[in-house]
Amino acid sequence: MQLTITGYSTALFSTWYFIEEWGILFDAGEGLISALLQKSRKIDHVFISHADRDHITGLLQFNQLNARPGYPIMYYPKDAGSFPALEAFSKKFDPQVARTVWTPVTEGDEIPIAKDLLVKPLRNGHVPVEEHIIKSLGYMVVQTRKKLRPEFAHLSGEQLRQLAEQQGRDSFSMEVRENLFGYSGDTPVEDGAKWDNTRILIHEATFLDNGEPVKTRDYGNKHSCLEEVMEMVSSIHIGQLILGHFSSRYSPEEIDRAIKGLCEKYAINIPVRRVLPGETVHDLLSQPPINR
């Protein structure tokens, strides 16, 4: 399936990604409405990774323009107190958004967004808190399909139809899942296994330099260095990679040079694209990969 992904992502300033075919927004930094215009009306589900202001300040205007009964639905990490505060303020400030839905989510949840699609929140260590506290999440979009169990493969269409009538379709079918799309949110590089076998991964890469002093990082929250991301990606199976959330201290040339160098170093041959600081990229997957 070809996805139309539009996004903006610059560390400290703003981050958001819109997937048009699914009506999903990941994060809601400022500028999303002025970039998407009428297309923002297609957004039904908003998955927020964490409460840093550069990921949520677009929500007020987004809701104000698009609120309708039961939509949009905002999903946020369950222990991040900023969201109930923002919900209360938003509904007081703009009474017409009173029926937007704000839903706390946590790792282990499965959120259906279409007949054959669900979203799984994945905890990450961006905000240093105890293991059971959920303040920062990545997300995985999973496709679920019903497939005939191999032991029923010999049956004819008519036999299967009868069986479905007698015992229901679940008696001979099984669910097959595929990771279509992963969004890292803000995160240090962690166990790559959670992104393994994903068709498209958007991962943050705030720093180009592994030796970046920790004290310069915002609020003590943890981010990824490009090389750690590329090393992780080289050790798992990803169909396409999109890098974003670069610090604005780097020039486009520095970023592209670093990506190309690391693709060579780690023998990464999948298409790699990037969202440069300060740039809104429309239809990301139609852009030429940086490593081809």
Q: Interface with Zn ion by CB under 5 A: which range of 57-65, 104-112, 154-162, 182-190?
A: 182-190
**CA-CA distance, 279 to 10, in Å (whole number)?**
8
Q: How many residues line the site for Zn ion (CB under 5 A)?
A: 1
User: 186 or 227, CB closer to Zn ion?
Assistant: 186
Give the start-end residues of each E strand in 106-197. 111-114, 117-123, 137-148, 173-183
Q: Interface with Zn ion by CB under 5 A: which range of 19-27, 76-84, 178-186, 209-217?
A: 178-186
Closest approach of Cβ 146 to Zn ion, in Å? 38
Closest approach of Cβ 50 to Zn ion, in Å? 8
**CA-CA distance, 110 to 47, in Å (whole number)?**
13
User: 6 or 136, CB closer to Zn ion?
Assistant: 136
**CA-CA distance, 246 to 173, in Å (whole number)?**
45
**Radius of gyration of the chain, Cα coordinates, nearest whole angstrom:** 20
User: 268 or 275, CB closer to Zn ion?
Assistant: 275
3 state DSSP class of 291: coil
User: 14 or 100, CB closer to Zn ion?
Assistant: 14
Among positions 27, 87, 186, 228, the unique one binding Zn ion when judged by CB under 5 A: 186
Q: Which of 31, 71, 66, 74 is nearest to 49 (CA)?
A: 74
3 state DSSP class of 37: helix
Q: Interface with Zn ion by CB under 5 A: which range of 114-122, 129-137, 184-192, 274-282?
A: 184-192
Positions in the binding site for Zn ion (CB under 5 A): 186
